[in-house]
Homo-oligomer: A and B are copies of this chain.
């Protein structure tokens, strides 16, 4: 049912030559900032600034118009004011450019005059040039050396997550935040008003792209509803598609109209879409990233039965409430297993029925190790969450009590404790999840936060996903499990 997008979109995502129309040496100008960011990121192909008033920008030969460029060009970025854009796209087509991204705003989202300009571009596109935008931040494609504004510092390595975003702001935010968690992208595409390439085209590309394993979307109003629905149904059978739908409420729908000029659609219709296609609905940027992380680290996770190991009973109570609210369960351990665990944990202030309360947020490493191994082997659970133990911050919190020998001793115990989940995961090959909350938010506690982030990075590198709160961890897990269950139900009903 699909035409091959891989070849067609190559000039878009890996252009060998690139004209920047509206380039400038002045970084207060949009085209100036874009050119700088592109150079910072390190675009590897042939670059042609285009500006009628300059002959040289940052040492690069500059041309008055794209038609003046003597060599063939594959791709162009356009940053000039909206009224100038339709003629520039025409020139790009005449030049033989295969695809353009239009970062300029002032089109459909501002009213009838802008809509007329946008329709001109759509007609030009139909004659043989593909267009991303207008009213967007463009494309981040590490394999092609392309980045979005202000993404000069985004990772240069490619990954397996794709993100299509109708909002430019969310494109850069998701790219930044997810990168900080070690998530790497195949592409992030801010596609704005979608006058030519829309979410359907991008979905087809990501479906075909063998490198992309998880697809994320921030979508306000898809341009081709029916096509989108059928595509989603097909794509979700092989790759998870996680969608944050903006404008599900009435107020949100109104805001959508003035943002990308789309029709946001009714909440009820979208509920049905998620149910029938198997796409995963999320309601915030955090949930979007958490769920992507869960799919990356637990790509085949299907169990609803889990155990939570924490230090302090209140945490176990919250864990049980939280799991049940999202449809996961913490089965009660058998009396035999409970008796066995009782011999491992301190005699008082602990609990072994599931959740397991090891009695303190800072247990002996040997206690955590034996409990973790035992519940994973004998507990009849699919996964263990280690929640809010002091893997990193104990030395900061307890260490200050005494600045003599205590610090050193505690640091080595913290290091030993932090190592336990990694050892158990390597030994048993069972899924583990860590919850490492930000303990204190004051500027004075920034060292504790740095220690926390280093520990989180270490676990991520060891294949253990890390979440900021237990609520966010179990919601992400429930999203993964729900995806597989819906996918199988839809497949068997076909």
Contacts and interface: CB of A to CB of B under 8 A. Distances in A.
A321 B247 contact: yes
A252 interface: yes
A311 B169 contact: yes
A408 interface: no
A314 B177 contact: no
Contacts of A437: 173
Contacts of A349: 105-106, 135
Interface string A323-344: 1110001101000000000000
Interface in A460-476: 469, 471
Given A220-B317, A324-B249, A348-B106, A40 B400 contact: yes
A258 B321 contact: no
A320 B254 contact: yes
Nearest to A258: B351
A167 B258 contact: no
Interface in A416-459: 437-443, 445-446, 449-450, 453-454, 456-457
Interface stretch (A45-53, A123-131, A230-238, A353-361): A353-361
A130 to B, nearest CB: 22
Contact of A325 (B152, B182, B249, B264): B249
A315 B469 contact: no
Given A180-B442, A181-B441, A454-B443, A168 B110 contact: no
A15 interface: no
Interface residues of A, number: 102
Given A27-B406, A33-B401, A443-B457, A348 B82 contact: yes
Copies of this chain, count: 2
A135 to B, nearest CB: 7
Contact of A153 (B173, B179, B400): B400
Contact of A40 (B256, B319, B401): B401
A52 to B, nearest CB: 21
Contacts of A301: none
Nearest to A318: B246
A31 to B, nearest CB: 14
Contacts of A150: 397-398, 401
Contacts of A168: 312, 314
A68 interface: no
B439 A247 contact: no
A416 B247 CA distance: 33
A82 B250 CA distance: 58
Among A37, A106, A110, A252, the most chain B Cβ lie within 10 Å of the Cβ of A252
A43 to B, nearest CB: 14
30 contacts: A27-B401, A27-B402, A37-B401, A40-B401, A82-B348, A105-B349, A109-B313, A135-B348, A150-B397, A166-B314, A167-B313, A167-B314, A167-B317, A173-B437, A177-B440, A177-B441, A180-B445, A246-B314, A246-B321, A247-B320, A249-B320, A251-B321, A251-B330, A255-B317, A256-B317, A258-B316, A284-B318, A284-B471, A441-B453, A446-B446
A164 to B, nearest CB: 12
B258 A313 contact: yes
Interface string A144-174: 0000001011000000000001111110010
A210 interface: no
